[in-house]
Amino acid sequence: MGYHFCMMKRSKKKLISLILMLALAASVFGACRKKPQETTAPERDAPLETGGEQSGEETEGTAPEAAEGETIPEGSTFRVRFIDVGQGDSALILCDGHSMLIDGGLPDASSKIYNVLSKEGIEYLDYVVATHRDGDHVGGLAAALKKVPAGHVLCSTDTGETRAWESFKKYVDQRGLTIEKPAPGDVFRLGSAVVTVIGPVQENEENNNNSIVLRIVYGKTSFLFTGDCERPEEMQILLSKPELESDVLKVGHHGSYTSTSYVFLRAIMPTYAVISCAKNSEYGHPHSEVLSRLRDADCVVFRTDLQGDILFMSDGQSLTYMTERQATREELLKPGGKW
């Protein structure tokens, strides 16, 4: 089994911030083009590389320290598994025996969700979060609720019309639960981790822009989950001035050019960016514009379509990651679609 390590000092982020500001200015003053031109950032000190056989290998690396956080008690554990559900999003967060499932992909991802919960030995979900009501986010959550009881179900809405939503709502009702709509600024705990609701700040006409956005802090490490949040919701969040800086960003809307704007990315300053998308995506996810922005921000990019499940582990000071499959940096920065 091959392992690869990657480090970046926090002080370097000031330079990256300047690069993003210049890139943002270039995109504004080059308004004659709809899409920003791709620019090449300097190579990382230790770029993500591949080694050994492609099939069945795992890669591992280490992230730098994040902002100051709470002291983690001895024996505490924290893991985030970004589940490869094809078209859609899904992530399982485990901390000190507590668990939270954020999204579940399309209905055909139900067996994958069921198997992951079984493999992890999950018998109870403290929180089930549907970031919004789209089928590629709520579809597999019905399987989760069918398999195990849950304490809380969160969503930005309690109504929907699709079959995926109806199935999801059916099992919420069968569990005797009600859908809770969290508000920005709400805070709750998952073991030693602290979860803060960042958005949606207001109700929007476009469903993607009603995505629940969550920031999870464990010690000095942090994650930002953005659902399908697009530029309008990103701007609303920025105006509300929450703490956004995070080590790991779950990239919005599967890497669509409609999300992960320069100004939003600059506020987050992630070291790692995870894109959940389908292989040979019919939508072309991830788009070249977003990959260019992430490259300008000097992010290490992960993609479920190329690497399968992606696992991050934290000791409260630093992050370790593992991937189900390997991919080269060149492959990871190549746009989606058939190629």
Task: List, as own/partner pairs, every contact residues 251-254 make where C-beta atoms lie below 8 angstroms and the sequence separation is at least 24, other chains included.
Answer: 251/226, 251/275, 251/276, 251/286, 251/290, 251/294, 252/211, 252/226, 252/227, 252/228, 253/208, 253/227, 253/228, 253/229, 253/285, 254/87, 254/88, 254/89, 254/228, 254/278, 254/281, 254/283, 254/285, 254/286
Overall pTM > 0.85: no
**pLDDT value of residue 228:** 98
- Hey, is 38 helix, strand or coil? coil
Q: How does pLDDT run across 32-49, given as a tens digit for each residue?
A: 333 333 333 333 333 323
pLDDT, average across residues 128-135: 98
Q: What is the pLDDT of residues 4-14, one digit of tens each?
A: 334 343 444 54
Q: How many CB atoms lie within 10 A of CB 65?
A: 16
Question: What is the overall mean pLDDT for the chain?
Answer: 85
**305, 281 in Cβ contact below 8 A?**
yes
Question: Which of 19-23, 33-37, 199-203 reaches the highest mean pLDDT?
Answer: 199-203
pLDDT bucket at 61, cuts 50 / 70 / 90: low
Amino acid at position 88, single letter: G
Residue 202, Cβ neighbours under 10 Å: how many? 12
80: exposed, middle or buried (Cβ count in 10 Å: 0-12, 13-18, 19+):
buried
User: Apex CA 70: angle with CA 68 and CA 74, to 5°?
Assistant: 125
Greater pLDDT, 5 or 299: 299
Q: What is the pLDDT of residue 251?
A: 98
Say which range, 51-60, 223-232, 258-267, has the weakest mean pLDDT. 51-60
pLDDT score of 306 more than 70: yes
Mean pLDDT of 193-221: 97
With 70 as the cut, is the pLDDT of residue 256 above it? yes
SS3 content of the chain, % helix, strand, coil (to 5): 30, 20, 50
What is the CATH architecture of 10-26+58-325? 4-Layer Sandwich (3.60)
Helix axes 288-296, 13-29, angle to 10 degrees: 140
What is the reported pLDDT for 149? Answer: 98
